[in-house]
Every structure is written in C-alpha cells, then in structure tokens.
Structure 1
Amino acid sequence: MENTSGFIMILGLVLRIIGLVVCTRKATELNRSASGWGVFGFFMPIIAMIWIQFMKPYLQ
C-alpha cells in the first residue's frame, strides 16, 4: 500500500510540473503573464491547462 501512495504522489508532482511548463509556454505565446500562469498551472494543473487553451492573445 505504501508503494501505491508514493507512486501517486510522484505522479501528482509530475502533473504539476507539466502544467507549469505548458501554461508558461502558452502564456508567453498569448502575451500573458508567464509567471502568474506558471503558478496557476502548478497549483491547479488540469483547470489551468484547459483554461489557457481557450484564451485569445492579449493585444496592447
């Protein structure tokens, strides 16, 4: 049972890192705050990745 919980924790950490990277790159493409989206992508990876995929570029 301990091996399963350890695996789930590692999988969760990997998902958070992937969310951080995906959101940061996409935010840079859209002229958004890369650091803000990176933090959001780390703490709520699934929601952040879905949300940023539907955003339009920020025009200054």
Structure 2
Amino acid sequence: MNEGDSHAELSPQSSYIRRIQHQIAEQYGLESSSNGVDPDRKVILFKRVSHRKL
C-alpha cells in the first residue's frame, strides 16, 4: 500500500489463501476483511488507524 492509499483490494482467492492473507496482514499491522461471494471473494487490506493523544 502506498502512503496515500486507504485500502488495497487483493485478487479473488480460495478460502485457504484468504486465511493466509489475513494472517500476513496481521503480522504487518494491517486490518483486513473479506468481501464478495465465492469464487470471487477477496481480501481488502486497510491501514490501522492510530489514536494518538495530542
């Protein structure tokens, strides 16, 4: 994901591959969700929103 991007859609994958994509997203500090209906279901990645005190 580039600095200005709010999300990235990955290509449709099997449930096994999507599970791995969710695990990798977690390791990199990203939020993830699955969207769509099989066989076109895909993972969408989001940057985590940090809540900093000012």
Q: Mark yes or no: TM-score above 0.5.
A: no
More strand by share: 2
Return the TM-score normalized by structure 1: 0.36
- Structure number with larger C-alpha Rg: 1
Return the TM-score normalized by structure 2: 0.39
More helix by share: 1
